[in-house]
Structure 1
Amino acid sequence: MAKPNEPVIVRNLSKAYGRVPALRDIDLTVRAGEIFGLIGPDGAGKSSVMKAVAGVLTFDRGHIEVFGEPLDSEAAAERIKQRIGFMPQGLGLNLYADLSVEENIDFFARLRLVPEADLAERKSRLLAMTRLERFRDRPMKKLSGGMKQKLGLVCTLIHAPDLVILDEPTTGVDPVSRRDFWAILAELLREQGITALVSTAYMDEAVRFQRASLMFDGRVLMEAEPGELAEMAQGMIVVIETPPDCQAEALRRLRAKFPQVEAVGPAVRVWVDQRDGGDPESQVRRTLAGLENAQLRVVEPELEDVFVARLREAGRSAGRLPPLTGDVNRGAEVAIEAQSLTKAFGDFRAVDEISFTVPRGEIFGLLGANGAGKTTAIKMLTGILKPTAGEGRVAGADMHRASRLIKERVGYMSQAFSLYLDLTVAENILLFAGIYGLSPSARRERMAWIIDVAGLEGHEDDRVGGLPMGVRQRLALGCALVHRPQILFLDEPTSGVDPLGRRRFWEILFHLAREQQVTVLVTTHYMSEAEHCDHLALMYAGRIVADDSPQNLKREVSREAGELLELRSGDPLAALGILAEGGFDGAALYGRRIHLLAKDGAQAQERIRKLLERGGVTVTSIRPVPLTMEDVFVYRVLELERAAAQKAA
């Protein structure tokens, strides 16, 4: 039941843009001193809710109260504006490109009438929290994506609001900047008791919220604490590991029996509904009877699993992937080879002597922070950008001497531009087919194939700009494959795509790699997607600093840093402060839980219990939890940053 003094109360909120409904009877309540999350893909309605709560968007029907003030007029919005801070979606969209970091902060401080006596202290503290202190004089336009978002947060907080409204603040930024962002919010929550309404398209960020609403198509599907969301789904995940040559057969059998199956690297994950009871492992084992050396384990579902299951219950699904026919790629055994590849822009080395090899038929992931050099590396390998130094072979051709041959043998789906939005579906396909010189009969055959794979039957004459993001990305993938390339380069291919769309996208990639031996090199900011790759290379400051399978990268971090512990307590904010003072610098708030790395798990648990008991905080539980690729990424990058800082000192 909502209390009158709760910061945000929304009831029956509805909004349409023309004939397109954006919000359908939204209800939510944000309690004082919590981080409340809106989770969902692009187009779910998150931004419309946040703009309405911030008082900058009118709505058609419903009721909104912010700090007890009904938002029924411009005058009402004016009365509460000093108590809120609103950060819109998009990297640096609330900032001024030609102003420096400090000039942007001072401008917002004057706009918000911050007293001069308070400004210096607030600015100094916020710059220290965001690690932007040494960049005071740098123009905003020269900041990385993560730094822009942190500066945007400083400008949103400079007038000390009671409620901050942050619209997808971590989209498009690297995992280290995301971790910084959440650490700042946790500190503000602990020290100042602010309230935050935050939206995200990253399902794995749900654990950061005290409570969250799961949104899709303008509706709230579920609302609860993150741990409770998974429990509401009435299903479990069975993970199957088989020898590589048995994985495709395991997938075929499981998809015939279960509606929610996905391949993740060498493993297969199956959702088993438990409404009718029964042992999940036994159900899967019967389906795989006779398949040699299949190892099974049952795990709790992740939020994305729950989200997909709820969409299926609502009658939405990605559908069965049609048969993907095609010849097996017989290209070179080593599909991509880079040797000391370098690209310099003046004195700056965007890519600094990177070396790696990718065998035919492998899914290879290139990970790195914003500005690490991933896109520059892809552009050199595809012949778009000339390297400063180094050697490379792509699809058996020397990148220095055979750029035309390379372009014929590779498909490239760029981060920013893949399709012509003003053209129809059919016109885009025909354009790409013409660029690659396909014959009329080949064009017809590839047109039919792409339409089938993208699920666009009957939409051939629709304008691409009006398609949902997931469908548009599948069409872009089809256009990149129109000439049957041996190698596929994908730069951030699923940014903004809903979980159903992402799963279908990766299902296509898995088939291409396993069945047709197409080599895939992909960059991604979704750390959960890194698990889909057979091999990963982590880039930092233009160099490759780690290069192995996801499983081996996790094992290496475990050897160096120890176990990842999850702590539950009666007062997680107080516990976080006590742990920080007690030397556990890496402790991070995850909703109502705390995560930290500890070298000696048993001793660390005992020390944590004693620390918190002395501080008057009750420990509910401490347990080891599996490392994620985000933990690996953040640990590696922070270690490199510390080493660089020590060297500079």
Structure 2
Amino acid sequence: MEVAGTMSTIIDVENFGKRYRRLDVISNVSVTVQRGEIHGLIGPDGSGKSSLLKAIAGVLDFEHGIIRVFGQRVNSEEEAERIKGRIGFMPQGLGQNLYAELSVEENIDFFARLRMVAPADLEPRKTRLLEMTHLERFRERPMKHLSGGMKQKLGLVCSLIHQPELIILDEPTTGVDPVSRRDFWVILSQLLEEYGTTAIVSTAYMDEASRFHRVSLMYKGEMLAQGKPEEIRALVSGTVVVVKASSQIEAFAILKSQYPQVQPIGHHLRVFVGKQNSEQAESAVKDSLSHLEIAECYSMRPELEDVLVTMLIDRNEHKNVGSGPVFKTMGRKNGKRNGPAIVARDLVQNFGAFRAVDHLSFEVSQGEIFGLLGANGAGKTTAIKMLTGILPSSSGNGQVAGVDMQKAAQTIKSRVGYMSQAFSLYEDLSAHENLKLYGGIYGLSGTGLKERIRQTLALTGLQGYESEMTQGLPMGVRQRLALSCALLHRPSILFLDEPTSGVDPLGRRRFWEILFQLSREEGVTILVTTHYMNEAEHCDHLVLMYAGRSVADETPAGMKLALRKEAGELLELTVDRPVRVLEVLEENGLSDAAIFGNCIHLLTKNIGDTVLKIRFLLESNNLSLHKVDEIPISMEDVFVHRVMALEKHASQRQQA
């Protein structure tokens, strides 16, 4: 992402403060955004990102501080009106600024009239933006029938149709699959290149920080840190050690007692060792596990999420999730069963002429953490609803917890716990009242229910929250409460549909620590869907879905290995003008490339020849290449490569 034009301050926020009723939600926040940059506001729900962006856009009043946009104060509605024509604002939520009954083109035309775009300017702008967002062939489709990623791209087009100098985007990629997220960032980069647009973007995804020129980390209404991504990463010293020991449960308990950041990642453990280099950190971890057999041990540099979590720990925001008493599962109660916990065989689900699930087959072993991955609309949620007996299948069969899903739906419901994608708690009830309500639904009462609630609260680390109203709980705590409700009847299988969407990194780590305990210590089988590709690493096994079908069925390590064999190693190119560099690479046959901030990621089977070719191409086009690094392949790389290849194949078949 190159910064176009002369640098000057577009947004200047001084000592901003916002109060809701008597509660100060933001205090003394200051931030500047320079012309032509993409500035990131990163933080969990409740950190104040949306309030700050609304105030900058002139749609929210505030109590303290000064906000200047284009040098103009926007401390009143009258002042804000003077600069609104130069701003594009996209609020939080999929398609929140769109009209469901209007088509793609009708939405664009409506916003163009609203912004008084001249008819002569509208058509070329609309054609260019539809081309950039790959929405050209969906002009006539109603907005309500678009996928989540397509809604966000249409929302962006409508916010840009009047060619604003500043665009304000509030969590534009939340709930959007990795392919659509990557498309979104390419579009922003192109806008910066072509029009010199300035953008301020909020996100809860820490892995998106590398895509910004500068970043502001927010938490609970305060600014934790600001600067370039590499500057923020340098604020905390230390090393990440990844280790695989003979007893994962024992190794986890030992390391957790010594280090505040320990994550189970599949059959490995990921440990952040502060203030030590790689050699010292690896040695320290091995010494701690000296009585166990070490199968693997290697180190890597910390990620920005490690930095944020370390800052929160230093602020005493970190509380370990209590292990609680032994939690007897339904499976233990009935004795250990032979065979898989979940079996899906040729599952099909038709909604009229649309096939949402297309002959889907897979198996989930007892006590396994199993992940269903796929883009928006791939059929993941529909598959879960069929397996849990909520939705009858059009054809196919399966078994869940030892019973036929077609013939014993009620039995299945008594043996599984289900957290739906739509939030399932009653916000006007307290945490304890929600638990009592769900206990009654599961047929629990009296002292038995009280004991189950006590055990579940201990397991999920929610002691002390019992009397608090659900609507006032942080997102991560609410998700643990929803999990507690799903666990009350001691299920042997858990179905979790996007359980950590919108939850901050610390909350997600706590949540996955509970899932690890349930799987490894209690033998609960867990099937989970997620859009966080780093969470896919937590799973023992994965199925990647595309258009309702299974297109990959492997462990995370197996999927990475398969991609490496097929497409080669992953290179990171540090450049000055990534948009132009990407164009040059694609024009010369290097199409498997993507923009990451000021870098380009590229898969290649022949590193030496590819680097020589890239250097020649960039020198021929007067472009700079500062550095080339070989970096590990991530699950996001696997996901994007697979889905993009399938989309390309589907497009070629349609054109044939």
TM-score by length of 1: 0.97
Within 5 Å, which residues of 2 pair with 1:449-464?
A: 449-464=455-470
Match of 1:249 in 2: 250
- Name the counterpart of 2:261: 260
Amino acid paired to 1:46: K
Moved more, 569-578 or 10-19: 569-578
Q: What is the aligned partner in structure 2 of residue 195 from structure 1?
A: 198
Could you give the per-residue CA deviations for residues 246-274 of structure 1, whole angstroms, max 9, x where no partner exists? 11111011011111111111110111110
Aligned residue type for 1:147: M
1-side partners of 2:589 and 2:269: how far apart?
A: 39
State the alpha-carbon separation in 2 of the partners of residues 224 and 321 from structure 1.
Answer: 36
Task: Tell whether the 8 Å contact from 1:361 to 1:517 is kept in structure 2 after alignment.
Answer: yes
2:460/2:514 contact within 8 Å kept: no
For residue 512 of structure 1, the aligned residue among 509, 518, 526 is: 518
Pick closer, same or farther for the CA change 1:560–1:275 going to 2, 3 Å: closer
Q: Which residue of 2 aligns with 1:299?
A: 300
SS of 1:516's partner is: coil
- Tell me if the contact between 2:262 and 2:269 (Cα under 8 Å) persists in the aligned partners: yes
Alignment partner, residue 532 of structure 2:
526
Q: Which residue of 2 aligns with 1:536?
A: 542
User: Which residue of the partner structure matches residue 68 of structure 2?
Assistant: 65
SS state at 1:7 partner? strand
Q: 1:152 aligns with which of 146, 152, 155?
A: 155
Q: Which residue of 2 aligns with 1:218?
A: 221
In the TM superposition, 1:22-101 aligns within 5 A as: 22-101=25-104
Alpha-carbon offset, residue 278 of structure 1: 8.4
* Counterpart position of 2:242: 239
1:305 is aligned with what amino acid? D
Q: Residue 108 of structure 2 aligns with which residue?
A: 105
- Equivalent residue for 1:386, pick from 383, 392, 401: 392
Task: Give the CA deviation at 1:197.
Answer: 0.5
Contact 2:17 2:65 in 1 (8 A): yes
The letter of the residue matching 2:312 is: L
Shift of 1:501: 1.2
CA deviations on 1:107-156 (whole Å, 9 max, x unpaired) are: 11111111111110000010011111111111111111111110000000
Deviation at 1:588, TM superposition (A): 2.3
**Residue 413 of structure 1, CA deviation:** 0.8
Q: 2:553 aligns with which of 547, 556, 561?
A: 547
Partner of 1:308: 309
- SS for the counterpart of 2:82 is helix
Taking the aligned partners of 2:318 and 2:481, their CA distance within structure 1 comes to 18
Distance 2:371 2:477 in 1: 23
For 2:271 and 2:538, the matched residues in 1 are separated by: 15
For residue 440 of structure 1, report the CA deviation from its aligned partner: 2.1
Give the equivalent residue in structure 1 for 2:280: 279
List aligned pairs for 1:196-595, cutoff 5 A.
196-243=199-246, 246-274=247-275, 279-327=280-328, 329=332, 330-595=336-601
- Asked if the contact 2:239/2:278 (under 8 Å) is kept, the reply is no
Q: CA contact under 8 A between 2:278 and 2:299: conserved in structure 1?
A: no
Evaluate the alpha carbon distance shift between residue 571 and residue 154 of structure 1 in structure 2; reply closer, same or farther with a 3 A threshold: closer
2:612 counterpart of 1:606: yes
Report how far residue 295 of structure 1 moved. Answer: 2.1
Output the amino acid matched with 1:262.
Q
Instruction: Give deviations 1:260-300, integer Å, cap 9, x for gaps.
Output: 11111111011111079981112111111121134211111
Cα gap change, 1:11 to 1:583, in 2 (>3 Å): farther
What is the CA–CA distance in structure 2 between the aligned matches of 1:421 and 1:203, rounded to whole Å?
Answer: 28
Greater alpha carbon shift after TM alignment, 493-502 vs 335-344: 493-502
In the TM superposition, residue 447 of structure 1 has moved relative to its aligned partner by 1.2
Looking at structure 2, the residues matched to 570 and 492 of structure 1 have their Cα atoms a distance apart, in angstroms, of 37
Distance in 2 (alpha carbons) for counterparts of 1:560 and 1:373 = 26
Q: Is the 8 A contact 1:318 1:501 kept in 2?
A: no
Mapped partners of 2:213, 2:539: distance in 1 = 31
Structure 1 equivalent of residue 125 of structure 2: 122
Aligned residues: 645
Structure 2 unaligned runs (5+)?
1-5
- Say if 2:7 and 2:34, in contact at 8 Å, map to a contact too: no
> Please, what TM-score do these two structures have when normalized by structure 2?
0.96
Task: State the distance in 2 between where 1:498 and 1:182 align.
Answer: 21
Secondary structure at the residue paired with 2:557?
A: helix
Aligned alpha-carbon RMSD (Å): 1.6
User: Structure 1: 5+ residue runs without aligned partners?
Assistant: none
- The one-letter code sitting in structure 2 at the alignment partner of 1:196 is A
Please tell me whether the aligned partners of residues 332 and 395 of structure 1 are also in contact (alpha carbons under 8 angstroms): no
CA contact (8 A) 1:5 1:67 kept: no
Task: Measure how far apart 1:320 and its partner are.
Answer: 4.1
Confirm or deny: 8 A CA contact 2:7 2:36 kept in the other structure: no
Question: How many Å apart are 1:574 and its aligned residue?
Answer: 4.0
Counterpart contact for 2:38–2:199, Cα < 8 Å: yes
Using the alignment, how far apart are the partners of 2:73 and 2:585 within structure 1?
A: 41
Return the alpha-carbon distance in structure 1 between the equivalents of residues 315 and 513 of structure 2.
22
Contact in 2 for aligned 1:321/1:504 (Cα 8 Å): no
Query: Is the aligned partner of 1:641 residue 2:644?
Result: no
The 8 Å contact of residues 321 and 459 in structure 2, kept in 1 or not, is answered as: no
The 10-residue stretch of structure 1 (155-164 or 421-430) with the greater mean CA deviation from structure 2: 421-430
- Correspondent of 1:135 among 131, 138, 161: 138
Cα distance in structure 1, aligned partners of 2:77 and 2:418: 48
Give secondary structure in 1 for the equivalent of 2:358.
strand
Counterpart code for 2:595: L
Paired residues of 1:15 and 1:22 also in contact (CA < 8 A): yes
Shift of 1:214: 1.1
TM-superposition CA deviations, 1:296-337 (whole Å, max 9, x none): 111111111111111001111032423341236323431000
How far, CA to CA, are the matches of 1:456 and 1:320 in structure 2?
8
Cα deviation for residue 26 of structure 1 reads 1.0
CA distance in 2, matches of 1:397, 1:645: 40
Contact map agreement 1:108 1:155 (CA 8 A) in 2: yes
Question: What is the identity percentage for the equivalent residue pairs of Structure 1 and Structure 2?
Answer: 57
Report what 1:183 is aligned to: 186
- Matched-pair contact (CA < 8 Å) for 1:5–1:68: no
What is the alpha-carbon distance in structure 1 between the residues aligned to residue 106 and residue 583 of structure 2?
32
> Partner amino acid for 1:301?
P
